[in-house]
Structure 1
Amino acid sequence: MSKFIDRVVLHVRAGKGGHGCASVHREKYKPLGGPDGGNGGHGGNVVLEVDPNVHTLLDFHFHPHAKGGNGKPGEGGNRDGKQGADLLLQVPDGTVVIGSDGEVLADLVGVGTTYVAARGGRGGLGNAALASKARKAPGFALLGEDGEERDVVLELKSVADVGLVGFPSAGKSSLVSVLSAAKPKVADYPFTTLVPNLGVVSSGDTTFTVADVPGLIPGASEGRGLGLEFLRHLERCAVLAHVVDCATLEPGRDPVSDVDALEAELAAYKPALKADAELGDLADRPRVVILNKADIPDAAELAEMVGAEFSERGWPVYTISTVSREGLRPLTFALAEMVLEYRAAHPKAAPPRQVIRPVAAGESGFSVERDGEIEGGFIVRGERPERWVRQTQFDNDEAVGYLADRLARLGVEEKLEKLGAEPGAPVTIGDVTFEWEPQVSAGVDMVMTGRGTDPRLDQSDRISAAERKHASRVRRGLVSEDEITE
């Protein structure tokens, strides 16, 4: 028998973007054929999609890691890398996606509804795409970015029209089994049902679903018993049906007190999602009282006695027996009529449209602040500068010079000067910290001397090989510090 799982933690990681290619076209008699490095492919996304054939989160319980395909690197001859394959994960209708901080990210209701749980990294540009008037044959390419990686919680809320509530062993599972083709576990001990059971019921031209929620007890809204685990399965039910055990022998229990106790729990429970809260509190949903086990003489007499009290509250009352199937037909038609009335009063909202909000022209998209941990240091924050740093090959001087040009055009250099940054001040962007050198003429077109080099980064104060050798000999006491050696 398959296991019902309605809450899992899913570790999603999108694919990495492929690196760009730094290549120069080579052909006989054409020594300067120009750059022809292709772009890297974008990484694949991790996408959640509602599938009507999936009813549990069991697959994610046993396979909690999901990874999109990596993009392929670009190649010479202007050949772009292949895009990474998207990973499509099928989830049941009513799945709620929650971030690690508890924020609701998506509410997946309706067949075909999708949500991108993790976006793939961008592929790096090849040197053919980076060619410009100043850099006719770039000797570098941009690196591909890592894909998004995070943990999300998938929580399933049953999308049913009628929710059956009641104390343990009230006969809810038995009722589902006789109203529909569902075959839930039925036994004569409390808490037989540990997971919600869904059944499809046909009444004339109307088809609706019935959810059998595990037995509730006083304190369920605060987590007692199985309360909080399964009260959420009632949030989207159009009608709530109290299934009352009229043949219980437990002292201190009777149909009226049972219903009153569960009504208090329904009133205390608050939906977590705004969309579910707009459907109204559970206490405001249409009600029907089902007095079960009428095949037992004492239970039939008790049902007749308490029926009038529930009717005074304005709730329809039906006396049934799941064993003899007495009273099931009128109950089925009544439930269908209540579901139709609720559907007419609460039409399904149109699926939300995707809204694209472009960044306003002229917006810098970055900020510079003083570093509280490094004396005289600064931190540059912003999506674009941090992305540019991740794409840079720092072992390639030309790539570093290109990064300096991009930051200068964005206004980072000017902002650092206004904040009083001194030459050599440590500047942190993303995970990289470097020394700021304002004498580097960033943003100014320069004549490049060779592939992979940038003359602006040649520092006159660099220690030569001869100087390092002399310093080593001084440390070993072979020569004096003032002695000049060849």
Structure 2
Amino acid sequence: MTTFVDRVELHVAAGNGGHGCASVHREKFKPLGGPDGGNGGRGGDVILVVDQSVTTLLDYHHSPHRRATNGKPGEGGNRSGKDGQDLVLPVPDGTVVLDRKGDVLADLVGEGTTYVAAEGGRGGLGNAALASARRKAPGFALLGEPGRGGDVVLELKTVADVALVGYPSAGKSSLISVLSAAKPKIADYPFTTLVPNLGVVTAGSTVYTIADVPGLIPGASQGRGLGLEFLRHVERCSVLVHVLDTATLESDRDPVTDLDVIEEELAQYGGLDNRPRIVVLNKIDIPDGKDLAEMIRPDLEKRGYRVFEASAVAHLGLKELSFALAEIIAKSRADKPKEEATRIVIRPRAVDDAGFTVSLEDDGLYRVRGEKPERWVRQTDFSNDEAVGYLADRLSRLGVEEKLMKAGARSGDGVAIGPEDDAVVFDWEPTMMAGAEMLGRRGEDHRLEAPRPAEQRRRDRDAERDEAQRAYDEFDPF
């Protein structure tokens, strides 16, 4: 049964925003008391959070579809809908988030690091929020915005200071078991280690982590064996340790050739040229292994490698190796630049940036793209004439109509707002009223005009009588 997964494709969907409410306040002796529709709640986000207690992506391998909850719709009485609950997904330290094209979206390193994988939709405004001096009683509300979603790829790159690399059965798991408290599976057959193992080593005042990578073979960087699946786990390591088997039973292999093959695979994988290397000649507890180690050590040192002879079984040379690694790691940590305080970068929008674009496509269709126009379209109820008129007003104030005219659009031309796969298409009519003419100014309902008080009606009658009297007095038939 699979117990370790370091790469998954996750299908995430944020919650939809709740719809706004179109409501009119009613009570005894005040049947039409004005709009009181509440706003819809925001949809929940899908958030990835680094959790040190999580070491594998196994949960997402079994359940790759994750969705946050929707926001609740608004209600009358100015009651806003409840926001959707965010969906928090814990991931291991060192998880890289990519899109389906392979572009990196986020590199999650450090406890508590977060990334919003899918953003929840905004809640729609109720008619109470849409009311204004000119639009006293809107008969419509805005729809909730759909939550964003899509596919993301999660790749785990182990966060370790030291990576042990080498052929299968070279003794990497044995070394990590005696250097640390890790208890990997150890057996006398190739590819015993099927997943990376991680251990913590203490050498003096330095504490560091060490990982063994499943055995590499020729062609690993092109997909042979298990190497390609786990080479990503050496990318974050500060030191690479070549574990060479000096007592191999295979006649066509020797430690120097093994080193050259592994170095070639690392070079093919790329990005590891600047990492310091250490060579461990393992299994010197075997007489032939000890003799071979003494024979090839001078040659390896001439190449510039620091060489250590060790035996995981007999616990030989382990202390020297542990403290040498601690020295390199301490120097590497000291050489790293200190993290600067977080800076907020403000990039103001250009003064001539309208926030949208208008382009003429080959089929004669004018396409409008921009965050605001597309969001407004998604939030419009096209079955309501007032809502459509409100959308037309907003687009006109934004300058969409003016830019269409400058682009050469004429009455009756097709206009699409949004991307090709999800756009609203209509025949453009300049300065169109969008079907709200029967209500006077868009969004007004004269049915809600309150009757004039009795005193006001009396004053109006007196004024009309006085005006009539003045007209009679000024009339002279002769």
Q: TM-score range by the shorter chain?
A: 0.7 to 0.9
Q: Which residue matches 1:339?
A: 329
Measured after TM superposition, the shift of residue 199 of structure 1 is 0.7
Match of 1:469 in 2: none
Q: Distance in 2 between matches of 1:223 and 1:89?
A: 30
Confirm or deny that 1:33 pairs with 2:21. no
Q: 1:362: how far off?
A: 5.8
Is the Cα contact below 8 Å between 1:139 and 1:452 reproduced in 2?
no
**1:448 and 1:235, CA in 2 relative to 1: closer, same or farther beyond 3 A?**
closer
- CA distance change for structure 1 residues 351 and 319 in 2, over 3 Å: closer, same or farther? farther
Cα distance, 1:53–1:2 mapped onto 2, change above 3 Å: farther
Say if 1:53 and 1:203 are closer, same or farther in 2 by CA, change over 3 A: same
Q: CA deviation at 1:239?
A: 0.8
Q: Which residue in 1 is equivalent to 2:367?
A: 379
Aligned equivalents of 2:414 and 2:428: distance in 1? 6
CA-to-partner distance for each residue in 1:241-274, whole Å, 9 max, x for gaps?
A: 1111000121232111111221222223224xxx
Q: What is the SS of the residue equivalent to 2:22?
A: coil
Match of 1:481 in 2: none
The CA deviation at 1:218 is: 2.1
1:419: which partner in 2? 407
Q: CA deviation at 1:342?
A: 1.2
Deviates more, 1:106-115 or 1:322-331: 322-331
Against the structure 1 CA distance between its residues 449 and 183, is the aligned structure 2 distance closer, same or farther, given a 3 Å change threshold?
closer
Change (3 A) 1:84 1:332: same
Alignment of 1:299-338 (within 5 A): 299-338=289-328
Q: Is the 2:22–2:37 contact (alpha carbons within 8 Å) kept by the matching residues of 1?
A: yes
Q: Counterpart in 1 of 2:278?
A: 288
Indicate if the aligned counterparts of 1:263 and 1:283 stay in contact, CA closer than 8 A. Answer: no
Superposed CA offset, 1:321-369 (max 9, x none): 1111111121111111111111111246458656454544563111222
Question: Are 2:12 and 2:118, in contact at CA under 8 Å, matched by a contact in 1?
Answer: yes
Alignment match, 2:427: 435
The residue aligned with 1:130 is 130
CA distance in 2, matches of 1:129, 1:111: 41
Whole-angstrom distance in 1 between the partners of 2:406 and 2:296: 81
Number of the residue aligned with 2:77: 77
Q: Cα deviation per residue 1:2-39 (whole Å; 9 max; x = unaligned)?
A: 71100000001011000011111112122332111111
Moved more, 353-362 or 170-179: 353-362
- Corresponding residue for residue 405 of structure 1: 393
Q: Secondary structure at the match of 1:428?
A: strand
Q: 1:20–1:73: 8 Å Cα contact kept in structure 2?
A: yes
Which residue is 1:269 aligned to?
A: 269
Larger radius of gyration: 2
AA partner of residue 116 (structure 1): V
Q: For 1:21-420, what aligned pairs fall within 5 Å after superposition?
A: 21-271=21-271, 282-347=272-337, 349-350=339-340, 355=345, 357-360=347-350, 363-373=353-363, 376-420=364-408
- Report the Cα distance in structure 1 between the residues aligned to 2:107 and 2:241, rounded to whole angstroms: 25
Tell me the SS of whatever aligns to 1:61.
helix
Tell me the distance in 1 between the aligned counterparts of 2:23 and 2:83: 20
Residues 95 and 156 in structure 1, CA contact (< 8 A), matched pair in contact too: yes
Is 1:17–1:70's contact at 8 Å kept on the other side of the alignment? yes
Q: Identify the range of structure 1 (399-408 vs 361-370) with the bigger mean alpha-carbon deviation.
A: 361-370
Q: 1:354 to 1:221 in 2, by over 3 A?
A: farther
State the distance in 1 between where 2:341 and 2:133 align: 48
Alpha-carbon distance in 1 for matches of 2:287, 2:222 = 37
Partner of 1:470: none
* Aligned-CA RMSD value: 2.2
For the residues of structure 1 that align with 2:289 and 2:38, how far apart are their CA atoms? 80
Question: Over residues 419-446 of structure 1, what are the superposed CA-to-partner deviations in whole Å (9 max), with x where a residue is unaligned?
Answer: 3333232221132112222252589995
Q: Is the CA contact 1:396–1:452 (under 8 Å) kept in the aligned structure 2?
A: no
Look up the equivalent residue of 1:186 and give its one-letter code: I
Question: What SS does the aligned partner of 1:284 have?
Answer: coil
Q: For 2:342 and 2:358, how far apart are their aligned partners in 1?
A: 37
TM-score by length of 1: 0.86
Q: How many residues align?
A: 441
2: CA distance, partners of 1:351 / 1:315: 38
- Tell me the SS of whatever aligns to 2:273: helix
Q: Which amino acid aligns with 2:107?
A: D
Identity rate of aligned residues, in percent?
67
